[in-house]
Structure 1
Amino acid sequence: MISKTTNGQPEALGVGLYVPTVAFFNSADEIDVETTISHAASLLQAGVAGIVTHGSNGEAVHLDHAERQVVNKATRKALDDAGKSHLPLIVGCGAQSTRETIQLCKEAAESGGTHTLILPPAYYGGLVTTELIKQHFITVADASPIPILIYNFPGATSGLDLSSDTIIELSQHPNIVGVKLTCGNTGKLARVIAGTAGTSFRTFGGSCDFTIQTLAAGGHGVIAGTGNLAPRACIQLFQTWEQGKLAEAARLQGVVAEGDWAAIQGGFVAVKSALQRYRGYGGLPRRPCAPLEGKALEAQLNGFAELMAYEKKLSAQ
C-alpha cells in the first residue's frame, strides 16, 4: 500500500540508503527464493531506507516476467516478515516499448512493489527524440498504478543522458516522484534539486561514491549497489555527515568510494563474487556473464577489502 498525502499525492520517499539487490539463482538456474529473502532481511536489519529489485545489479535483462514477480514477492515477504511493510519496494520496470514498460509496472504493483524505476528506451536511439522520451515517461506515469522514478544511467542506455531540464519538466507529473542519477553528474544533480525544491520529488545519487556530494547539494540519499555488501558502512557515512563530522565523513567517503570502484569496474558480477567471499553466498550470474577466476578474481576482491573490514567492525558493535 502506498501512503498518500492530504492532497492525494504519493507520500515522499524517505532520505537514506536504498539497495538495488542482486539476483540469486540455485543450481538449477532458477530464482533462489530462500536466499533472496534472507539477503533482503539482512539489509533491513542493517537499517536501509528501502530495497530496489531489478535494477542494474539485479540482472533484470536476464529474467523473464514471471521470474521478476517471484523476486518481488520474495522481497515483499522479507519486508513484511521484518515488520518493515512501510518501507518502499522499488521495482525496475524499464523496457524498450512503452507498452511493455506499462505491463511491467502493473506486474510490479501486483507482486508487492510500491514504486517503479524506469530507464529511458534507447535501443533505437537514433529514432527516439527527447520529445518522444518525455512522452514515453508521461504515458507510463499516466498508466502505472504505482509512482515512478526516472533512472538516468547513460552506461546502460547507449550513452543516452537525460538533461536536468528534461528531468525537471517530467517531475511536474504527479506520478513521477523521483530520479536516480547514475550519470555521476553532480552539477545536474544540484540543478534538479534546485528545480524541484519545495516539492515531494526526490533526487538520489546512483552510486555511494558520491554520497557526500549528493547530501551537500540537498539530495535525498543514494541508490547504491555496493550497499549489498556494506550497508552499515554506507549508512554510517550518512550519519557522520549529518552529525557535522565533516573530516571523518570525508575519510569514510574515501573508504566507501574505493570499495565502490571495485563494484563499478566489475559490475554486479563483482558484487556477487564479493558476497560469496565475504558472506558465503552470492552464486553465479546467468550466462553469458561469468565471474573472474584466479589472480584476476583475487585482485578484484582486494578492492573491497578495506570497506568490508570496516563493515565487519560495524557489524560487531
Structure 2
Amino acid sequence: MISFLGTGVALVTPFKSDQSVDHKALAKIVNFNIENGTDYLVISGTTGESVTITKKEKKEIIDTIHKANGSRVPMVLGIGGNNTQEVIEEIQTTDLSYIDAILSVSPYYSKPTQEGIYQHFKAVAEISPLPVILYNVPGRTSSNMLPATTLRLANDFENIIAVKEAGNSVAQYLQLLKNKPEDFLIISGDDDLALSVVLAGGAGVISVIGQAFPKQFSKMIKLGLEGKAKEAYDIHFNLMDATSAIFEENNPAGIKGVLEALKLCKDTVRLPLVPASDVLKAKIKKIVKEMK
C-alpha cells in the first residue's frame, strides 16, 4: 500500500499575469519540492484554487505534475464538493491513472448534519477505485466533521484510510488519535500544529508553507516522527513567522507571495481572491530574506 506518512504539500496553481496556468512554474515547484524532501503531492485542493479552475485546466495541471514527478512520489487529487452526485460523477469520469488517493472535502455551504456527512462519504467510498482521505476544514465548510463521524467512517470503510484534519483544535486531534483504528492515519492540515500532532501520534501533514521551505519542513516532520522533539521544535520555531504570515490575509495569496519572493512563480491569483497587500508582501520578503 502507498504510504502517506511524512510531508505532503498542497500545491498552488501558478498563474501568468494574464491569468492562464503557468505550467513551467508548476513543474519547477514540483521539482523543487521533490528534490528537497517532500514525500507526496496534493493536487487541486483549496491552495490550488480548485474552485476557479476549469475541468480542462484541472486535467492539464494533473498532466504537468505527473510529467514533472514521474513516479518519484505519490500523488493525491482533490475531488470534493457539496453535491454528492457530482462528486461521484467526477471520480468516475476522471482519469486516475497517475493518482494514488483522493482527498475529498467535507460538504461545504449546505451545512449537513453529522449523518449527512457520513452518508455523503459513504456514497463516495462505495464508488471510489482509490483510497480516500477525508478532509475536515470547518473554517471553510462552516460545518465541523466531529471525531465520532470521522471514526465511524474509518471503521466502516476499508478504503477510507486517513483524515486531513484542519479544525485547528488540539482537543479534536487528540480524540482522533486516542480512538482511531490502528492503521487509520491522522494527517494535520494545520501547519502551526503539525509537529505537535506528529509527536502525539499523527502520520504527518498536508502543508501549505511546506512547499516554500520543503527541506526544513520535511526534516521537522521526519524528526517528529522519530520522536526527536527538541531538534524538531528548533525548526518549528524558525518557520513560525513564515507560517503565520501566509495566513494573515487569505490562502493562497500568502503562500504565492512567498513563492514569488523565492522566484518560483508569480503571486497572481484569480478573483474573488486578490494578491497579498503591499504591507504583507514586505513582511514576507523580510521573512524569506532572514530565512535564507
Which TM-score applies when normalising by structure 2? 0.91
The answer as to 2:57 corresponding to 1:67 is yes
- The C-alpha deviation readout for 1:180-216, integer Å capped at 9, x for no partner, is 01112222222222322422x2110112322221112
- The C-alpha deviation readout for 1:109-142, integer Å capped at 9, x for no partner, is 43632211111112222xx221111000010111
The answer as to 2:206 corresponding to 1:223 is yes
Tell me which residue corresponds to 1:260: 243
Tell me which residue corresponds to 1:148: 132
Q: Is the 8 A contact 1:258 1:304 kept in 2?
A: no
Deviation at 1:251, TM superposition (A): 2.6
- The C-alpha deviation readout for 1:266-286, integer Å capped at 9, x for no partner, is 321011111111224234001
- The change in CA–CA distance for 1:198 and 1:179 in structure 2 (over 3 A counts) is same
Tell me which residue corresponds to 1:282: 266
Matched residue type, 1:114 = D
Tell me which residue corresponds to 1:123: 109
Tell me which residue corresponds to 1:55: 45
* 1:200-239 equivalent positions in 2, closer than 5 A: 201-239=184-222
Q: Distance in 2 between matches of 1:170 and 1:35?
A: 38
* 1:172-251 equivalent positions in 2, closer than 5 A: 172=155, 173-199=157-183, 201-242=184-225, 244-251=227-234
Figure out how many residues of one structure are paired with residues of the other and give that number. 290
* 1:86-97 equivalent positions in 2, closer than 5 A: 87-97=73-83
- The change in CA–CA distance for 1:245 and 1:142 in structure 2 (over 3 A counts) is closer
Matched residue type, 2:145 = L
Q: Distance in 2 between matches of 1:110 and 1:247?
A: 40
Deviation at 1:305, TM superposition (A): 4.8
Matched residue type, 2:282 = E
Tell me which residue corresponds to 1:5: none
Deviation at 1:304, TM superposition (A): 4.7
Query: Root-mean-square deviation (CA), in Å?
Result: 2.0
Q: Is the 8 A contact 1:51 1:90 kept in 2?
A: yes
Q: Structure 1 vs Structure 2: percent identity of aligned residues?
A: 24
Which TM-score applies when normalising by structure 1? 0.85
Matched residue type, 1:22 = V
Q: Distance in 2 between matches of 1:184 and 1:12?
A: 27
Q: Which has the higher contact order (CA 8 A, sep 6+)?
A: 2
Tell me which residue corresponds to 2:150: 167
Matched residue type, 2:147 = S
Q: Distance in 2 between matches of 1:179 and 1:111?
A: 23
Question: Does the residue aligned with 1:265 lie in a helix, a strand or coil?
Answer: coil
Tell me which residue corresponds to 1:100: 86
- The C-alpha deviation readout for 1:17-73, integer Å capped at 9, x for no partner, is 000100012344222222222211111111211000111211001112221111112
- The change in CA–CA distance for 1:244 and 1:165 in structure 2 (over 3 A counts) is closer
Tell me which residue corresponds to 1:315: none
- The change in CA–CA distance for 1:305 and 1:108 in structure 2 (over 3 A counts) is farther
Q: Distance in 2 between matches of 1:244 and 1:110?
A: 35
Q: Distance in 2 between matches of 1:305 and 1:183?
A: 31
Question: Does the residue aligned with 2:252 lie in a helix, a strand or coil?
Answer: helix
Tell me which residue corresponds to 1:3: none
Tell me which residue corresponds to 2:5: 15
Matched residue type, 1:92 = G
Tell me which residue corresponds to 1:4: none
- The C-alpha deviation readout for 1:59-88, integer Å capped at 9, x for no partner, is 0011122211111121111221xx51xx32
Unaligned runs of 5+ residues in structure 2 are none
- The change in CA–CA distance for 1:106 and 1:192 in structure 2 (over 3 A counts) is same
Matched residue type, 2:211 = N
Q: Is the 8 A contact 2:137 2:165 kept in 1?
A: yes
Q: Distance in 1 between matches of 2:57 and 2:20?
A: 8
Unaligned runs of 5+ residues in structure 1 are 1-10, 313-317
